[in-house]
Chain A
């Protein structure tokens, strides 16, 4: 059993898959000798060499496009685009084209491509934007966002083995943070399975990424008030684990969706709508959303921190749900 940070766990997962399958390779900017931004690829170049750990020019669209092309020819490329802030530069290749190819070819084209991107408010200042909803809206592409090192390793391995394009999101606030016990052996966390991280009878709190830990903190504070929340770590936005969300809401009768992404048209809106549509009969109170307001993420450290939901905002959202039904 090793204790690893999320950064170490993701790199270890990639290295294992590269050893296991010669068709796996990785490309991106400064991922070779430099080790990748925030050490996102540290050690890969030393082990696998420049042929499979490929440094590229600043051409995000070009390298994601090349990833699509190589994937169509049977490889399993991983493309590190550094930051999710650059998602707009690769949407055509990754989402509009890459996501549609399997359907449009009636199942004959496969695009086993992983695009890695870092985001989120954390020690690394800037590049915080969480734009994942753009991609969640496009058919044929999976969206994964681990909340801890163990899941990160298991999910990156599942993403590499998946025959579809996967947007794999690495939160910079979690990246070099707490270490987790990583079990030995081939751990693979299937994409699309939410995880119960706290059981409770009163309110279902759906969270993802860095919001999971904050929801746990809120849960501890609320327990002192006699309110027991049930926390689901979604882990993936696509595929969405509808069953686990609905069965939790069936038990609690209340739901608060927490998201670091902007509220308007964010993926939290889809989860709320899904439960309103398919689980209305379970609800005792209006569904609540705790999310970032619709403004560009401000730069100043304190503002940046203030705008993202914290445990107090989550607890307040839960109290509202309790007060309204």
Chain B
């Protein structure tokens, strides 16, 4: 199989996993933040990073990002309830913070924004090491209103850091629409920082992946940061329990018709990469894997009081 075909199948697989995670977790947890409709951004970004690169994902898509980097799905799902088997033994939540051992810098508090600065710092470390490492930071369009976005982009530009910023632009921040969130397009801000900006179809996984990989390659060559505005739509509510009734159903239907998974499936078929039977097989396999992981996670035990100790508050103790 050609490299291209392998990549396209891997992207499809990750999109399917992202959707299955939404289906399975959403049914169990009304507070889950689904990435329904945004799977092309999730898969396009998180597939294909190198060992040693730093990944700083958006919270929406964090489990998929952790999985893409090698995390065990059952342990990641155990982290939704802070089970003893989770990567942090229940000390933190996996839905917003992926395991650091996979090179992931997640959200260590609920505050959106600072992770973009952590990405700049991870890129600074990579630059000092001069081994071609990069950092990839993904964030929401709402998060782009934070000062952290501006400080991180400006710093990255001034210091010529190998970091790629991708806006997972789903046009909403909870109930706040783009029109009320920012006065101009996010991609246009790139010029103000003196970095290249690129608007991509966030429902086309290949377009997203190619843009991200292109920017990463450029960063690896030492040519500095880039901003990608991956324009998509949040088809689901902010949370599984949010009916999202602050926007018109016509608008939602219009975007549903551009379902990223269906679009890519059509491409796989028309380009002869996979036939219908193989596609169905892939779907069934991903679904079974996610369901089995969820069953395991749900039957795992909660942590005991031994996790409450003061150990590992300070590295090396105090």
Listed in ascending order, the chain A residues whose CB lies under 8 Å from chain B are: 23, 25, 51-52, 54, 56-57, 59, 61-75, 77, 92-93, 96-98, 100-112, 139-140, 142, 162-164, 192, 238-239
Contact = CB atoms under 8 A, between A and B. Distances in A.
A1 to B, nearest CB: 31
Contact of B100 (A63, A105, A238): A105
B92 A69 contact: no
Most buried by A among B97, B100, B148, B316: B100
A62 B105 CA distance: 16
B312 A69 contact: no
B114 interface: yes
B117 to A, nearest CB: 2
Given A92-B111, A108-B99, A70 B122 contact: yes
A196 to B, nearest CB: 21
Interface string B275-309: 00000000000000000000000000000000000
Contacts of B246: none
Contact of B109 (A56, A97, A111): A97
A288 B169 CA distance: 57
Nearest to B108: A97
A107 B154 CA distance: 32
A257 B25 CA distance: 53
15 contacts: A25-B128, A59-B154, A65-B121, A66-B152, A69-B105, A70-B125, A72-B100, A74-B125, A103-B312, A104-B97, A108-B99, A108-B101, A110-B315, A162-B315, A164-B315
Contact of A69 (B54, B89, B311): B54
B315 A63 contact: no
A74 B52 CA distance: 11
A62 B318 contact: no
Nearest to B157: A57
A65 B316 contact: no
B313 A61 contact: no
A308 B92 CA distance: 42
Contacts of A59: 151, 154-155
Contact of A104 (B92, B120, B159, B311): B92
A69 B124 contact: yes
Contacts of B165: none
B76 interface: no
Interface string B96-128: 010111000100110100101111111111101
Given A57-B151, A61-B114, A97-B108, 16 more contacts: A25-B128, A62-B148, A62-B155, A65-B116, A69-B118, A69-B119, A70-B122, A72-B54, A73-B54, A73-B122, A75-B124, A92-B109, A105-B100, A109-B100, A140-B313, A164-B315
Given A97-B108, A109-B100, A69 B316 contact: no
Contacts of A103: 91, 312-313
B118 A68 contact: yes
Contacts of A110: 315
B147 interface: yes
B313 A102 contact: yes
Nearest to B116: A65
B307 to A, nearest CB: 8
B79 to A, nearest CB: 11
B155 A66 contact: yes
B314 A68 contact: no
Interface in B73-107: 87-89, 91-92, 97, 99-101, 105
B88 to A, nearest CB: 4
Given A68-B117, A164-B316, A104 B91 contact: yes
Contact of A65 (B91, B120, B126): B120
Closest 4 CB pairs of A and B: A69-B121, A65-B117, A62-B151, A66-B121
B57 to A, nearest CB: 14
Given A65-B148, A107-B315, A56 B158 contact: yes
Interface string B128-140: 1000000100000
Given A101-B108, A103-B312, A92 B91 contact: no
Given A69-B122, A69-B124, A164-B316, A105 B92 contact: yes
Contacts of B154: 57, 59, 62
B68 to A, nearest CB: 19
A193 B192 CA distance: 49
A102 B314 contact: yes
B151 A96 contact: no
Contacts of B311: 107
A106 B318 contact: no
A201 B120 CA distance: 54
Most buried by B among A51, A106, A111: A106
Nearest to B120: A66
A57 B316 CA distance: 34
Contacts of A63: 155
